[in-house]
Amino acid sequence: MNRICSNLDDRNKHLHSLRKTFVQGYHPQVIDDQIHRATQIPRDTLLDYKEKTENNRVPIVVTYNPQLNIIRKIARDLQPMLHTDTRLKRIFPELPLLSYRQPPNLRKMIVRSLFLKQLKQPHFPATATDVKPANKYCAKFKLLFRIHKKSTPHSCASSNVVYMIT
């Protein structure tokens, strides 16, 4: 807050509302001590540009799985083996940066976060029977359905059925 707010009254008001939020999960004395510690740093120091250190670590991206937590230890233990070869030592000068990709889930399969490019569909001229004279063309769109057949019969009384349109 000290960096964002130049006016002390605004800063104190925002810190008070932030304190209310944190009190719900933390001890009030700990919050007060940390707010006091943060306000002791001069604003000019906070606004100074800080040089960023360059990161030359090679990223290793894996799909997250709780059983794969040992990968970090394996990479750390095998790093000296990579440094025995001069070429590999240039490629991996530091320990690789382990990054996790979110695994696919049902929500991602059902809800799309982006629109697929629409294929060019043929446009047909509007007929004279159209009500709106401004509507000169009507487009024909195609819906794609992925059908999954189940071996058990379904009826209107079936429960826990998910319909997915892709």
What residue numbers bound the domain in which 31 lies?
8-47
Note the pLDDT tens digit of each residue in 102-160. Answer: 888 887 777 766 655 555 555 545 444 444 434 343 333 333 444 455 556 666 666 66
Non-local CB neighbours of 138 within 8 Å, separated by 6+ positions: 123, 124, 126, 130
Q: Is residue 64 in some structural domain?
A: yes
pLDDT of 145 reads 42
Domains: count for the chain = 2
Q: How many other C-beta atoms lie within 10 A of the C-beta of residue 119?
A: 7
Q: Is residue 12 in some structural domain?
A: yes
Please give the Cα distance from 124 to 160 (Å, whole number).
Answer: 41
What are the strands, taking DSSP E only, across the chain?
A: 59-63, 97-101, 123-125, 137-139
Q: Is residue 161 in some structural domain?
A: no
Q: Is residue 153 in some structural domain?
A: no
Q: Is residue 35 in some structural domain?
A: yes
Residue 74 pLDDT exceeds 60: yes
Q: Is residue 66 in some structural domain?
A: yes
